[in-house]
Structure 1
Amino acid sequence: MKTFTKQHVPRFFRRLRLITATIPIVLSWTSGCAARGVVADGNPGAVHAERVVIDSDAPRPPFEFADADEAFLDEIQRAAFDFFWNEADERTGLVPDRTSSDVVSVAGVGFELSALPIGVERGWITRRQGEARARLVLSSLLAQPTNRKAGLFFHFLNPHDASPKRVGTELVVSTVDSAILLAGAITAGQYFGGEVAALGDQLVADADWAFFADHDHPDGEGFLTLGWKPVSDDDPTGKGEILPYFWLDSGDEHRLATFMAVCSPDPDHRLDPAVYYRLRRMLGWHKGEVVWFPYSGALFTAFFAHCWIDYAHLGVDNPSAWGVEQRARVDWWENSRRMVH
């Protein structure tokens, strides 16, 4: 196999065995989309756009790397795993969001759950240890009924009992942070099976994404809201309101949250798959190449969804196959490669 160096592949993508170890989420409707995405039907403009978004000659995983790159990436990956493993609360297994305080972010817990199979595969922990940690984390989350509304979780939790925690002015159920948590639960469940899978499946099934879709707000158009906040801290799962802000664009936060929403196993909790393809795809330029970019322009929104969705193998999508004619077809792997290059 050809050895790629720093000049060939952006640094983030050089450790793709991390991603393959997390068992990416590729559900049936997504595979169907990829299969139907071969022919560019629908909007003629999409064919033209496809020519500048797709590069079939770009290297794809798996990769081999120079020894120096391997050593550097091993060091970074081991240090990241050690944080997830060593800093978690002994009572709940929940990892802190930061070293400066003991607050837990459910998104961080999603990454923690995703890291456990990697630790096993790399030989840093045993399978029994990883399975026990995943079971502790998931059972701790389920045992605390005040930490979620309509199946989605408050952004921040207390580490000792998984109850919701106000951080500054924020006490909010977060759709994107819940999506990352559930992606991690699926990863751990698929890898360890058994009770871990059952606990993860329950979390995924309980998530009522339809509750967080706003069909009345003029900016909502049926898209997913960023979150929900309670009227009172004393009754976090009681009366509250959906935030009037929505996932509208095609950054990784937008796509991952919407992806999870349209893939719910419960049809009453599920959004229409067309919502995923209706996310705005804004055209821009980066280093002389055309890219589709999120409104914020934040770099982290260009790559982290690849940890769970195997865009490298899904290839070009096809919005028109889902009745969305005014969106160009995009290969999200290639788009992310260009964004981080």
Structure 2
Amino acid sequence: MDVTDHLQRDRASLPLDALLDEVQYRTLLYFWEGAHPQTGLPFEKRGADGEMVTDAVALSGVGFGLMALLVGTERGWISRDQSLARTALIVDSLFRAPRFHGAFSHLIHGTTCDVLPFSQRDDGGDLVETTLLMQGLICAREYFAGDGEAETELRAGITRLYDETDWRWYTRGDDDGPLYWHWSDGQDWIMNLPITGWNEALCAYILAAGSNTHPIDPQNYHAGWTRHGAFVNGETYHGTRLPFGEPLGGPLFLSQYAFCALDPRGLEDRYGDYWEQAVAHARINHDYCLTVPAYRTAGVWGLTASEIPHGYAANSPTHDAGAVAPTAALSSFPFLPREAEKSLRAFMAFGNGRLFGPHGFVDAFMPAGGWTAPHCIVIDQGPIVAMIENFRTGLLWNLFMQAPEVRRGLNRLEFQVGNQHSG
């Protein structure tokens, strides 16, 4: 891949298609160049100037990285053979990583694939990280649909990883309760964290319901995820009604991680409309930011989990640390395209371009105060590539929604799906 800075003009004034190409291409380089050479696994974070700062690999980031490879392939920035080889290397590496009733841990080592405990008690299976990984794996399997030996073997390996995930184990044997986030050999269920909505884990229930080997009962979804409908919000914030979730929506990743793969267009169930949810969540976040003078003056918006000075925080309209994350607005392109474009151009121009580096945008910055995050972070870089592509072509939405596991899960949970995916 040619990594030369191929656009020397003022990026902030480029035509939109050219600007989106530049953003997707640069951010793809995070996954292409910023991965371990022996395993293909993208690191959990990189320095803003591209330097390696950790050996840790987040499994959710691997899922986003797989999606980014598909986008790069479709746009001609890497060849199909290159993409297939890298994807196969990643899948082979995943088979080396420990699994806990089929679920992967939150973090593994980029070379050895051994578990890196996320915390003292979190040293085993993480079902949500596994779900976000599976989203990327399923998209890759659907993309590489050729008859050749390499693509056939890749598809078989990905299906095996999915089929060996014991979703039912993570119900703790209760057909009328939630999935649980964590389990490990030594800690058992000590984390005791149920997966309940609204958050980034909607696809955990869809993929769990769609399993032919270890399926959950639909009642797990209704009693666990929706809490018998208690996750419904229905209140109005800044003039926008929010179907689900916490007041003012919470950090934007709560919607965006799942909707990188799951197509919310025309997606409904007995509780509400998921396109309305995605648009409302972004709209409320945007309109809140208009009330903050520093954001409004800089012409930027977007609060989500990101770096802040001396740490990391889940920023939202109710917990605003003053840090704007480019991923929040850019991953909203399908839902608020005009507002996302305006903020993108402002990000590019801010500080004479200091937010945009060799692997895309820095993780976050403070429009007031001059602080800029020292890193790019995998779980924020990935959705930028994915969601911009879904805005442009629907590529990842189309791949994920055609997968038999996904269609089965949505059907078992009685979702209505838009006409573009019926049949």
TM-score, structure 1 as length reference:
0.68
1:224 aligns with 2:179: yes
Q: Which amino acid aligns with 1:300?
A: F
**Equivalent residue for 1:173?**
125
Counterpart contact for 2:39–2:110, Cα < 8 Å: yes
Alpha-carbon shift at residue 168 of structure 1 (Å):
4.5
Alpha-carbon shift at residue 275 of structure 1 (Å):
3.1
Once residues 300 and 143 of structure 1 are traced to their aligned partners in structure 2, the CA distance between those partners, rounded to angstroms, is: 29
- Stretches of structure 1 that go unaligned for 5 or more consecutive residues are 1-65, 232-238, 320-327
Alpha-carbon shift at residue 303 of structure 1 (Å):
2.3
Once residues 75 and 286 of structure 1 are traced to their aligned partners in structure 2, the CA distance between those partners, rounded to angstroms, is: 34
**Equivalent residue for 1:108?**
61
What SS does the corresponding residue of 1:132 show, helix, strand or coil? helix
Match of 1:248 among 193, 196, 199: 196
Once residues 257 and 187 of structure 1 are traced to their aligned partners in structure 2, the CA distance between those partners, rounded to angstroms, is: 15
Alpha-carbon shift at residue 224 of structure 1 (Å):
0.8
Higher relative contact order (CA 8 A, sep 6+): 1
Within 5 A, what are the aligned runs for 1:226-305? 226-231=181-186, 240-241=188-189, 243-251=191-199, 253-266=200-213, 269-278=214-223, 279=226, 280-295=231-246, 297-305=250-258
Within 5 A, what are the aligned runs for 1:154-169? 154-169=105-120
Give me the CA root mean square deviation.
2.1
Match of 1:202 among 145, 160, 165: 160
Once residues 287 and 316 of structure 1 are traced to their aligned partners in structure 2, the CA distance between those partners, rounded to angstroms, is: 24
Once residues 197 and 96 of structure 2 are traced to their aligned partners in structure 1, the CA distance between those partners, rounded to angstroms, is: 35
Within 5 A, what are the aligned runs for 1:47-126? 68-99=15-46, 100-126=53-79
**Equivalent residue for 1:45?**
none
Once residues 159 and 94 of structure 1 are traced to their aligned partners in structure 2, the CA distance between those partners, rounded to angstroms, is: 6
After the TM superposition, which parts of structure 1 deviate over 4 Å for at least 4 consecutive aligned residues? none
Measured against aligned partners, the alpha-carbon deviations of 1:122-178 in whole angstroms (never above 9, x if no partner) come to 11100000000111101111134xx21010001100000211112453423211110
Once residues 247 and 283 of structure 1 are traced to their aligned partners in structure 2, the CA distance between those partners, rounded to angstroms, is: 21
Once residues 168 and 223 of structure 1 are traced to their aligned partners in structure 2, the CA distance between those partners, rounded to angstroms, is: 23
Match of 1:332 among 260, 271, 274: 274
Percent identical pairs in the alignment equals 30
Alpha-carbon shift at residue 272 of structure 1 (Å):
1.7
Alpha-carbon shift at residue 316 of structure 1 (Å):
4.6
Distance 1:305 1:249, change over 3 A: same
1:309 aligns with 2:262: yes
Alpha-carbon shift at residue 67 of structure 1 (Å):
6.1
Counterpart contact for 2:59–2:105, Cα < 8 Å: yes
Once residues 234 and 35 of structure 2 are traced to their aligned partners in structure 1, the CA distance between those partners, rounded to angstroms, is: 41
